Chains A and B, each alone.
Chain A
Amino acid sequence: EVQLVETGGGLIQPGGSLRLSCAASGFTVSTNYMSWVRQAPGKGLEWVSVIYSGGSIYYADSVKGRFTISRDNSKNTLFLQMNSLRAEDTAVYYCARELSMVRGVITRAAFDIWGPGTMVTVSS
């Protein structure tokens, strides 16, 4: 079965650090585009970061310089290292697989597999 499961969320003080993990099964993380998307309580979705199969990485301006996306191919796992956390980073964090090609045609920004999410609360 194709699935993603996030772990690592919790309560952290402002200025602290946290690392989220996203374990994949049924497909290979390293050969896919993988993104993190977050959703603050009662708010909409916000795209956070993407890592391409070739290794290129991009971030939303709101997290650039504080968050780092990475992957461990041997563990088939995606990570999000979050530093200098702020109250406004409080959200459910989802990892998602992003389609890069469908039937030989390039595509972007189509997140077809999502994990259930992990909650991150930044508060003193």
Chain B
Amino acid sequence: QSALTQPASVSGSPGQSVTISCTGTSSDIGGYNYVSWYQQHPGKAPKLMIYDVSHRPSGVSNRFSGSKSGNTASLTISGLQAEDEADYYCNSYTTSTTRVFGGGTKLTVL
């Protein structure tokens, strides 16, 4: 199972919006609405930010939103804040009942 494809880095200024893409295949992202997104700060465990493509767990800011089109999922962060600077990972369920992560995207808040 190959890793999902994410851009290595994205950046934005405080208050702006950024979108991180996650591209897979019809065997994972395209086949199911089971895409999740995680935020990871250095030295910390990942935190679930979005599940089932667009659902936010309790306690996650509504500045975070998710969507999907075909084999590509996206995470959008609006009203960028300094504390959003972190690594972001997507994950998808697959046809072989495994799970697969993206390579990760480093978000820099300028």
Contacts and interface: CB of A to CB of B under 8 A. Distances in A.
A110 interface: yes
A78 interface: no
A117 B32 contact: no
B64 interface: no
Contacts of B32: 108
B91 A109 contact: yes
A111 B101 contact: no
A44 B98 contact: no
Contacts of B47: 114
Contacts of A46: 3, 101
A102 B38 contact: no
A107 B102 contact: no
Interface string A90-124: 00001000010010010111111011110000000
Contacts of B91: 45, 47, 109, 111
Interface stretch (B9-17, B51-59, B74-82): B51-59
B1 interface: yes
Given A44-B102, A99-B51, 6 more contacts: A45-B91, A102-B55, A107-B34, A108-B32, A109-B99, A114-B46
